[in-house]
Amino acid sequence: MAEAHRDGMLSWRRVAAALQGFFYLAYPLVVYAAHTRLPTRGVGAILLALYGLSMALRLRGSAAELWRVVREHLPLFALIAAAIALGERTLLLLLPMLVSLYLLATFAWSLRRGPPMVERFARLAEPDLPEFTLPYCRRITELWCVFLAANAALVLALALAAPIGWWALYTGALFYVLLAGLLGGEYVFRKWWFRYYGDGAADRLFQRWFPPERTANGRRSLAYVARRQALAASSPQ
């Protein structure tokens, strides 16, 4: 019974996350399509309804969890509501900037209080993260801060001084191209720099291209893997 309930909650959360992701992806297209067909208040009402629906699906769990979700997303609701109340179309163009600023604050705060955000993500896949990777995690977190700050500044500039088509092209397509380039480039660089490989097909390919024994970092990764294997072999079953 409890397991079925957990599975149901997991499925529900996946649906909610998918719908919220769809909202963020579709937001520039909705704004652009409605920009020449509806007044600002009409566009804002549509966006508020879509975002409200995606958020309503997430409002499950403890009171603390509900308050956390509401607190995190309240500025986005406030921005759309202000655009509706004031009839100011430019405010609707600032939502991607607000999201970037929120993420920037989260990443920057993790640098101050620790551990850095990239280290937290890395530990989800590798709980026993090697010590020699921690400075790299900090540097990549700083890189993400620069990327998010630049994105927020560019969205602001496009919203204030560019045609709506430019704003929609960047926020709806070019941003994701840049994001994919950053993620892909960092992944390849990380494999080349540390030469720490798993058992997957991609890792086997990278190991052929970047043999670990040829660099100091690679040899350190090999020693780390050997220590882990020795500990696993000596631990009682």
In this predicted structure, what is the pLDDT of residue 88?
75
Q: How many domains does the chain have?
A: 1
Domain interval for residue 84 = 1-92
Higher pLDDT, 15 or 90: 90
Q: What is the pLDDT averaged over residues 103-116?
A: 94
Q: Is residue 56 part of a domain?
A: yes
Q: What is the pLDDT averaged over residues 154-170?
A: 92
Q: pLDDT by residue (tens digit) across 124-140?
A: 888 888 889 999 999 99
Q: How far is CA 59 from CA 81, 146, 219, in A?
A: 20, 32, 48
Q: Is residue 171 part of a domain?
A: no
In this predicted structure, what is the pLDDT of residue 24?
65
pLDDT exceeds 70 at position 121? yes
Q: Is residue 38 part of a domain?
A: yes
Higher pLDDT, 72 or 95: 95
Q: Name the average pLDDT for the chain.
A: 82
Of the listed ranges 7-11, 24-28, 32-36, the one predicted with least confidence: 7-11
Q: Within 10 Å of residue 112's Cβ, how many Cβ atoms? A: 7
Q: What is the pLDDT averaged over residues 66-83?
A: 74
Q: What is the pLDDT averaged over residues 94-123?
A: 92
In this predicted structure, what is the pLDDT of residue 101?
93
pTM for the full predicted model: 0.79
Q: pLDDT by residue (tens digit) across 217-237?
A: 999 999 988 888 787 777 665
Question: Distance between CA 151 and CA 105 in Å, rounded?
Answer: 13
Instruction: Select the highest-mean-pLDDT range: 8-12, 64-68, 83-87.
Output: 83-87
Q: Is residue 107 part of a domain?
A: no
pLDDT exceeds 50 at position 5? no
Q: Is residue 136 part of a domain?
A: no
Q: pLDDT by residue (tens digit) across 146-155?
A: 999 999 999 9
Q: Is residue 52 part of a domain?
A: yes
140: Cβ–Cβ under 8 A, 6 or more apart, which residues? 116, 118, 186
Q: What is the pLDDT averaged over residues 181-194?
A: 95
Higher pLDDT, 177 or 22: 177
Q: For residue 95, name the pLDDT band (cuts at 50, 70, 90).
A: confident
